[in-house]
Structure formats: C-alpha cells, structure tokens
C-alpha cells in the first residue's frame, strides 16, 4: 500500500528556528501530515503564535523557546518535548546564523566560533539528546538544513564552512546510526525568500541578475522546502540516509 507513504500520524517532530521562514513551512507541512510539532526559536511569543497558527488550522503544535547556541536551552527543548508528547521521532535542525559577510581574511575569530557553535555544534548536541531513545525504538529521523553555499565560492566563509560541515555530519551520523533505522539527511536550499536572506533579494536588479543563472528563474518560497522535509521524515524516505538534497530550482547545476 502506498497511500500512507507521507503519513506522519503519531510522530513527534521538533523543528528548530520554526517561528517563521523555512522552519515554519516545514513544521506546518509535518503537522498537516499528522505529526505533533514543536515550534522553537529564541522568542517565546513568536513560538506561541506560530504554534497557534498550526493548531487553528487543525494541527497539533506547541511552542518551546530555545536559543540554539545555549546547551541548556537545547536540553530544555528536548526534555519539554518529551514531557508534552513523550518522545522525539523527527528532529529537524533548521535554525542557522550568518552574522558575518566579507573576505575570509577579515573574519573575526569570535564570529567564526559563534557560527560553528550555532550551525554545527548545536546539531551535534541535539543529536546526542535524541539518538539514544531513537535507537531503543529502532526508528528515527534527523534532518539538518545545509545550503547551496557549500557549492560556491562566496563572501560567507564561516557560514559556508559550517554548512559543508553539516553535509559531513549527516554522513557520519548516518553511518553510525542507520543500522538502528535512524535516517539522517540534509536539505540544501537555494535562495529562499525569507528574513534571513533579505539582503540577497530585496534589490530587484541584483536578484534578477542572480535568477538569470537559475534554471527555474525564480526565487524559492519556504514551502518549496517543506515537501522534501515531509518525504525524508516519512515512509517515502525509508531507504534514504546520509544524503544532501539540493532544493534550489537548479541553481547548483552549471548553465
């Protein structure tokens, strides 16, 4: 039977950085397919509001604030999720930061450390928290958000290195944990219209120049990433692990 390929009924999902943007679109889609969803970001009000939106649409969601650079917050996020829903089946490490644009030779050490802590170390910390119970159940899914930045030279050295590390992290976590039926994959979005990427799309001329090299000739919307997340989280993705999926309108193929 294939009609339940994308069904997530009974599953519990945490999505970091999900009060808006790509994280919210993925959380919404996971909830629409039956998952109980935990919305998380630094701001409690924003989490509560986003969770309410999902509940108002007939889904099940709660908000738990968490700044991914704080280990105590990450511990609290997983513990409160278990208190509310009993387990974590799906972990989506979506929150990421990029607070420095400029030449690699001008990258301050503290910015490098902060970016690696948020975009890499926090994901490892969360994986440590959820994998033991996933192993016991012999079932679990981890999705980490990477970026097309890993394929191009650019002016975000620390960010790009951190996302390349994400791609390697999913391979390592997959090798280590897939024997226990824990699937670990990355999604690498192209340019998506969100607050995070505003500087790359608000100038129409610069945007059009960039889009002229993107085969699908349009900027992505957060919803464009949601379908892949549902696929990877569900039975549809049952034999997929250790991969990075470029969801970018063709941005990373040469034209």
Buried b / exposed e along 43-55 (16+ C-beta atoms within 10 A): eeebbbebbebbe
Q: How far is the CB of 139 from ligand NAP (least distance, A)?
A: 25
Residue 194 lies near ligand NAP (rule: CB under 6 A): yes
Q: Which stretch binds ligand NAP (CB under 6 A): 16-24, 109-117, 134-142, 176-184?
A: 16-24
Short-list 57, 3, 48, 49, CA closest to 30: 57
Residue 52 lies near ligand NAP (rule: CB under 6 A): no
Residue 147 lies near ligand NAP (rule: CB under 6 A): yes
Which residues 6+ apart lie within 8 Å of 193 measured at CB?
A: 201, 219, 220, 221, 222
Please check whether residue 151 is in contact with residue 222, taking contact to mean a CB–CB distance below 8 angstroms. Answer: no
Q: State the number of binding residues for ligand NAP (CB under 6 A).
A: 30
Q: Please pick, from the candidates 75, 87, 121, 196, the single residue that binds ligand NAP as defined by CB under 6 A.
A: 196
Give the residue numbers annotated as catalytic, written as ranges.
Answer: 159
Please report the sign of the dihedral spanned by the C-alpha atoms of residue 51, residue 202, residue 164, residue 158.
negative
**Cα–Cα dist 106/17, whole Å:** 28
Please check whether residue 225 is in contact with residue 192, taking contact to mean a CB–CB distance below 8 angstroms. Answer: yes
Nearer to ligand NAP, 16 or 81 (CB): 16
Residue 158 lies near ligand NAP (rule: CB under 6 A): no
Q: How far is the CB of 187 from ligand NAP (least distance, A)?
A: 9
Give the binding site for ligand NAP (CB under 6 A): 16-23, 41-43, 46, 66-69, 94-97, 118, 145, 147, 189, 191-192, 194-197
């Amino acid at each position: 039977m294939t009609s339940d390929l994308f069904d997530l009924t009974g599953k519990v999902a945490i999505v970091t950085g999900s009060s808006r943007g790509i994280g919210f679109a993925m959380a919404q889609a996971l909830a629409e397919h039956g998952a109980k969803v935990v919305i998380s970001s630094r701001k409690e009000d924003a989490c509560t509001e986003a969770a309410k939106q999902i509940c108002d649409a007939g889904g099940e969601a709660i908000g738990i604030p968490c700044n991914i650079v704080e280990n105590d917050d990450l511990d609290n996020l997983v513990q409160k999720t278990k208190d509310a829903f009993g387990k974590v089946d799906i972990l989506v490490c979506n929150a990421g930061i990029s607070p420095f644009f400029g030449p690699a030779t001008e990258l301050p050490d503290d910015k490098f450390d902060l970016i690696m802590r948020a975009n890499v170390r926090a994901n490892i910390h969360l994986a440590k928290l959820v994998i033991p119970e996933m192993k016991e159940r012999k079932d679990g899914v981890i999705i980490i958000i990477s970026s097309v930045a890993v394929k191009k030279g650019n002016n975000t050295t620390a960010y790009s290195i951190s996302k390349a590390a994400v791609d390697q992290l999913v391979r390592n976590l997959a090798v280590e944990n897939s024997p226990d039926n824990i699937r670990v994959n990355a999604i690498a979005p192209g340019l998506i219209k969100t607050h995070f990427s505003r500087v790359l799309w608000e100038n129409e001329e610069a945007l059009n120049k960039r889009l002229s090299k993107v085969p699908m000739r349009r900027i992505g919307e957060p919803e464009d990433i949601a379908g892949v997340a549902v696929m990877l989280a569900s039975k549809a993705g049952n034999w997929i692990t250790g991969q990075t999926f470029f969801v970018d309108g063709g941005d990373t193929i040469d034209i």
